[in-house]
Structure 1
Amino acid sequence: MLQTLAYYLAFLIIGLASASFGPGLPEFARNTGAGLAALSSLFLFHRVGYIAGSLGGGRLLDRTRGNRLTGLGLGLIALGLVSVSRAASLPVLLASILVLGLAQGTAETGANTGVVRLHGDRAGPYMNGLHLSFGVGALLSPLIVSASRAGTGSFRAAYAGFAALAALAGLWILRLPDPPARSRSAGEAGRNPLSFWMIAGLFFFTVAGEAGFANWAFSYARKAGLASETVAGLLTSVYWTSLTLGRLIGISLVRKLGPLRLLTLIIPGALAGSAVFLAFPDAAWAVWTAAALLGFFQASAVPASFTLAGDLGILSGSTAGLFGAACSLGGMTLPWLIGRFFDATGGAVFPVLIAASQAAALACLAGIRMARRKAGAGRG
């Protein structure tokens, strides 16, 4: 149980760090003298570091102690947070963000793999709890950053607190024994490539839809004249609240249904939410409905997919790293595409690409089920 709690704490810290950048942008601008346009590179550097950490960390997980790697990743997160909060120039800030992303990708891959190795076929509820911890951190982070700024005039106290927590968590995980590795994973991934790539696609398109909606819902509501600035801000809060609630409920649902049945329920649900938005893009009620449905139904897709990969025997350190990289690529690609065409289309590209991402996720789920049927027929 202590190991599970340690992994949960790691994900809480990753959520705290990831959600701190947006509220910190004005202070980053003051500290570095850079404009907001230049600071947009911050998110790109973070994603690139995250992908590198996921891929590199995944390969190292198959060659070294997983808890050692996760603990060191958390220690590097602590250093990265301190460096980010004190960066006085844009190059130093971007380098610090790159290192922070690298550390987060490594720690996330280690925690994801650790939970599956620790709990085996019973990992489903624990995996949902792991990703719920990230959501709790992401919800708390802006509040803590705002409180730090209100109390001290700077976000540095918040970042120092996050860094101290990361360092302590890293030391804790370093002292814990490693869960047993499941050596069959890599071989099964090679024998069942369709399942592997379909699960990777499911990660990519699910996180693409999450990041696309969360990053652009505010701007769309304002551009379309559907909400005031204050109300548009609440739209994003509704999305994250629904996502957190969905992960909480998913803990019991995945225990009752199993990961594949749960995915069969929630992936069409997310598509339905995006379809309502696509059908009525100029209606305020449709945007709010999409925020609630997308958040709720997307919530358990990533943890359930990790659990399914473990059940299918295709989750090794390397494959977990590749899945993490797929998540990061999705989270980087769709928001960029929306931004690329947002002004030119008057925002109309937003509901189209959100719906397309969820339709693609459903196609990947169909591919997983097809691979399962083929595997069953082959054994028969």
Structure 2
Amino acid sequence: MASQRYLIIKTLFLISIAICKGMYSEIPGATMIDLKILFNAKYEQISRSVSARGIGSIIGGFIGGFFMDRFRDWSDLLLAVFLTLGGFVLLFLPFVHDLGFLWFVFFATGISSGVANIAINVGVLLMWEEKAAPPLHAIHMGFGVGAILAPLVANPFLAVPADDQMNGSSAGNTSFGNTTKHYLKESAVQYPFVIIAFLIIGSGIPFFVYQCLHIKERKAYSPINSEERRKPSLKEMINPATYADGSLFYGCVMFCLLFVYYFMTVGGEQMFGNFVRSFAVDNLHFSRNHASYLDTAFWACFTVGRFIGIVSSKFFSLRFLLITEVALNFISVTAMDISATKGPSYLWGFTIAQGLIAAPLYPIGMSFGNTLVKISGVCLTLIEVAGSLGDFTFIWLAGKYYDSYGPQAILYGYQASSILVLIVGICFLIVSCLRKDRFSRTEFSPCELPVSSEVNEIETSDSNKRK
């Protein structure tokens, strides 16, 4: 009972980190217009700085994947240190005076986010083992909860233009140069970032304690009972065949499909989530408060969609869920691309629908992929790198083309993402039909290295007895 209580409490702390990560990931979307005001910049310049978190997440993903496979006993310390460093860097945002330093802030906190993402997922898999599905879904729901809270935290500190209270017709048209724009309330956009920074630092503190408890627990074991697993070599870790029943070709194909799937899924989701508020203000002339509510509604429905994914996975097969979700995503985005600009009610309807539909794409890809290849720390690193590159690429290009071609560019980018996600989903199904899932291909579940060593020792001992 005590052990179960320990796992539950630690999982709750991991969920709190996921909530903070969701707030950090989505706060740029809620504050994009005010960041333009603060830095007197264009969307492309701000989005280029925000996209730096994608580059940082790639580096963080490599750091997290390597350390979680090679130094797993120090995972709590790794998580706590990087959360603390990321939080302290985010505290510097109120003192940033140029876009270059803003780029560095998002880059550094992106590294922290990448490490945290790997450590959280691997930590849950290690703690709960075959019972890891519900905690993993709860972790992903925590991200959605943080995304809901981000606009609510930011909204009291955002600027209110004088004409926004009248009709909102020019609320999104931030002026530059010598043009003067009047505000009923000046922007204090720095403070939401400071609040989130303190929450991130606080969420890492319990894991310093957990690391100390882990060290104390290890010292209590005798050397005979605490034999460490053989650590895999770097060559074994990076070889796709290691995770694909020894087939290099099959492993490479699956790694490529996973990369494209998460590149497009995360990229499209983050682009829409970060720009939907700006799109509503600039294209359909929402007031800024109204646009913030729209942003919150998207992430609220996103969280509900994650919960629906938990329930539906109990009653439907992974194949059915995968093809249904990628197809619905394509249909929803296509309909939104055609009709979202017709009026506020259309945008509201499609935003709510897209939040519900896009939410399960991330966990269903991981669950289905795990039936085809063995998902480990390195595979999670691949997923993290793909998602981070998608985040970086889509947000940067969205800002660039937003300024050049207008808000409609966001919908075109999301449309391209949904098409490729649908194609990769179909490829997943074809592969699964050609090869049975990995649990059906083998008589026994995959064994860890130390188990194999113990089996060899037992066989040798029996042989000696017979002699």
Match of residue 205 from structure 1: 264
- Please say if 1:216 is aligned against 2:304: no
Contact residue 263 and residue 388 of structure 2 kept, 8 A? yes
Contact residue 71 and residue 170 of structure 1 kept, 8 A? yes
Contact residue 341 and residue 349 of structure 1 kept, 8 A? yes
- Please say if 1:119 is aligned against 2:174: no
Relative to structure 1, is the Cα distance of residues 286 and 70 closer, same or farther in structure 2, using a 3 angstrom cutoff? same
Q: Give 1 or 2: higher helix fraction.
A: 1
AA paired with 1:11?
A
Relative to structure 1, is the Cα distance of residues 312 and 266 closer, same or farther in structure 2, using a 3 angstrom cutoff? same
Match of residue 356 from structure 1: 416
AA paired with 1:342?
Y
Match of residue 137 from structure 1: 146
Larger radius of gyration: 2
The equivalences for 1:271-350 within 5 A come to 271-284=330-343, 285-350=345-410
Relative to structure 1, is the Cα distance of residues 181 and 204 closer, same or farther in structure 2, using a 3 angstrom cutoff? farther
Secondary structure in structure 1 of the residue aligned to 2:135: helix
Relative to structure 1, is the Cα distance of residues 283 and 172 closer, same or farther in structure 2, using a 3 angstrom cutoff? farther
AA paired with 1:165?
G
Bigger mean CA deviation after superposition, 124-133 or 64-73:
64-73
Q: Distance in 2 between matches of 1:85 and 1:343?
A: 26
Match of residue 52 from structure 1: 59
Contact residue 62 and residue 317 of structure 1 kept, 8 A? yes
Instruction: Using the TM superposition, give the Cα deviation of residue 222 of structure 1 relative to its aligned residue in structure 2, in angstroms.
Output: 4.1
Please list the CA deviations of residues 155-189 of structure 1 after superposition, one character each: whole Å capped at 9, or x if unmatched: 276245314413324324535659x9998996124
Q: For 1:231, which of 279, 290, 294 is the aligned residue?
A: 290
Q: Distance in 1 between matches of 2:35 and 2:352?
A: 31
Q: Distance in 1 between matches of 2:380 and 2:373?
A: 12
- Please say if 1:166 is aligned against 2:225: no
Please list the CA deviations of residues 298-336 of structure 1 after superposition, one character each: whole Å capped at 9, or x if unmatched: 112112222333343431212211101111121222233
AA paired with 2:79?
T
Match of residue 425 from structure 2: 365
Match of residue 71 from structure 1: 80
Q: Distance in 1 between matches of 2:34 and 2:399?
A: 23
Q: Distance in 2 between matches of 1:223 and 1:260?
A: 40
Q: TM-score if structure 2 supplies the norm length? A: 0.70
Relative to structure 1, is the Cα distance of residues 44 and 173 closer, same or farther in structure 2, using a 3 angstrom cutoff? farther
Q: Distance in 1 between matches of 2:348 and 2:89?
A: 36
Instruction: Using the TM superposition, give the Cα deviation of residue 212 of structure 1 relative to its aligned residue in structure 2, in angstroms.
Output: 2.2
Relative to structure 1, is the Cα distance of residues 111 and 235 closer, same or farther in structure 2, using a 3 angstrom cutoff? same
Q: Distance in 2 between matches of 1:121 and 1:253?
A: 19
- Please say if 1:376 is aligned against 2:376: no
- Please say if 1:35 is aligned against 2:40: yes
Q: Distance in 1 between matches of 2:137 and 2:88?
A: 28
Instruction: Using the TM superposition, give the Cα deviation of residue 7 of structure 1 relative to its aligned residue in structure 2, in angstroms.
Output: 2.2
Match of residue 300 from structure 2: 241
Q: For 2:243, which of 160, 176, 188 is the aligned residue?
A: 188
RMSD value over aligned CA atoms? 3.5
Bigger mean CA deviation after superposition, 311-320 or 367-376:
311-320
Q: For 1:61, which of 64, 68, 72 is the aligned residue?
A: 68
Please list the CA deviations of residues 222-260 of structure 1 after superposition, one character each: whole Å capped at 9, or x if unmatched: 444374544344332221121011112222222333544
Q: Distance in 1 between matches of 2:404 and 2:27?
A: 30
Structure 1 gap segments, 5+ residues each: none
Structure 2 gap segments, 5+ residues each: 1-7, 159-184, 216-228, 443-467
Secondary structure in structure 2 of the residue aligned to 1:256: coil
Secondary structure in structure 1 of the residue aligned to 2:314: helix
Q: Distance in 2 between matches of 1:146 and 1:343?
A: 24
Match of residue 15 from structure 2: 8
Match of residue 328 from structure 2: 269
Q: Distance in 1 between matches of 2:337 and 2:36?
A: 36
Relative to structure 1, is the Cα distance of residues 342 and 34 closer, same or farther in structure 2, using a 3 angstrom cutoff? closer
Relative to structure 1, is the Cα distance of residues 176 and 17 closer, same or farther in structure 2, using a 3 angstrom cutoff? farther
**Number of corresponding residues:** 375
Relative to structure 1, is the Cα distance of residues 371 and 348 closer, same or farther in structure 2, using a 3 angstrom cutoff? same
Q: Distance in 1 between matches of 2:353 and 2:36?
A: 35
Match of residue 454 from structure 2: none
Q: Distance in 2 between matches of 1:94 and 1:63?
A: 31
Q: TM-score if structure 1 supplies the norm length? A: 0.84
Instruction: Using the TM superposition, give the Cα deviation of residue 115 of structure 1 relative to its aligned residue in structure 2, in angstroms.
Output: 2.2
Relative to structure 1, is the Cα distance of residues 2 and 79 closer, same or farther in structure 2, using a 3 angstrom cutoff? same
Relative to structure 1, is the Cα distance of residues 22 and 236 closer, same or farther in structure 2, using a 3 angstrom cutoff? closer
Relative to structure 1, is the Cα distance of residues 166 and 76 closer, same or farther in structure 2, using a 3 angstrom cutoff? farther
Match of residue 18 from structure 1: 25
Match of residue 448 from structure 2: none
Aligned-pair identity (%):
22
Contact residue 81 and residue 162 of structure 1 kept, 8 A? no
Q: For 2:89, which of 77, 80, 84 is the aligned residue?
A: 80
Q: Distance in 2 between matches of 1:296 and 1:76?
A: 34
Contact residue 74 and residue 170 of structure 1 kept, 8 A? no
Q: Distance in 2 between matches of 1:355 and 1:278?
A: 7
Instruction: Using the TM superposition, give the Cα deviation of residue 130 of structure 1 relative to its aligned residue in structure 2, in angstroms.
Output: 0.6
Relative to structure 1, is the Cα distance of residues 271 and 177 closer, same or farther in structure 2, using a 3 angstrom cutoff? farther
Instruction: Using the TM superposition, give the Cα deviation of residue 86 of structure 1 relative to its aligned residue in structure 2, in angstroms.
Output: 4.6
Contact residue 148 and residue 157 of structure 1 kept, 8 A? no
Instruction: Using the TM superposition, give the Cα deviation of residue 193 of structure 1 relative to its aligned residue in structure 2, in angstroms.
Output: 2.8
Contact residue 25 and residue 39 of structure 1 kept, 8 A? yes
Please list the CA deviations of residues 337-362 of structure 1 after superposition, one character each: whole Å capped at 9, or x if unmatched: 33333354444433333222112111
AA paired with 1:263?
L
Contact residue 57 and residue 110 of structure 1 kept, 8 A? yes
